[in-house]
Amino acid sequence: MSCQNLSLKSTRFSIIIVVLCSMIGLFLTQGCSKPYELAEPGPSSTWQDIEGYDNMTEQQKKALYLAAKRAAVNLYVALSQKQWNDALTLMDKSTVNRLETLSKGKGAASWLASQSVSPEAIFFIEDLADIQDMHADYAQKESASRQELFAVSTDGKVRRIIMELEGDAWKYNIKSMKEP
């Protein structure tokens, strides 16, 4: 067999391979020209509580509340004692990220230390008297991984505090924070 015949056969073989690959590619992409569309969800009355919160006993719900409240109290104590790094461990990632942004590169702990208003007032309420599970003026949207608490001041003012389960620990959520 001459080199010319071998070259001609390898060229034909290469062309056949390219054509076959192109055909397979066309076959595999048929019907994939538009993005996948999700169906609209049904009415909320048909939704399922995947976390099972609605099926929990009052005792189980109270245990969640107490665990979230314990984390909130620990955060309040860390802030009032100016233990910034301890306080940051009790905040969720979105809250810490927000503080990092507000610090303009100086760090979240530095931002906490530099506030003219007490961080306790920023994250909870001025003159905190109690943290409660419910308050008559607020509807709650709780789940097994989200608890709503209410910071009550000595003069009766109320502020919603959101605690979310991050990993296995309750953390303060930025949605509660009062921007300075």
User: How is the chain split into domains, by residue range?
Assistant: 55-176
What pLDDT does residue 92 have?
A: 93
Domain 55-176 is found in CATH 3.20.20: no
What pLDDT does residue 16 have?
A: 62
Q: What residues of the chain score a pLDDT lower than 70?
A: 1-51, 136-139, 176-180
Cβ atoms 113, 82 nearer than 8 A:
yes
Residue listed under structure tokens 């920023």: 122
* pTM beyond cutoff 0.85: no
Cβ atoms 125, 117 nearer than 8 A:
no
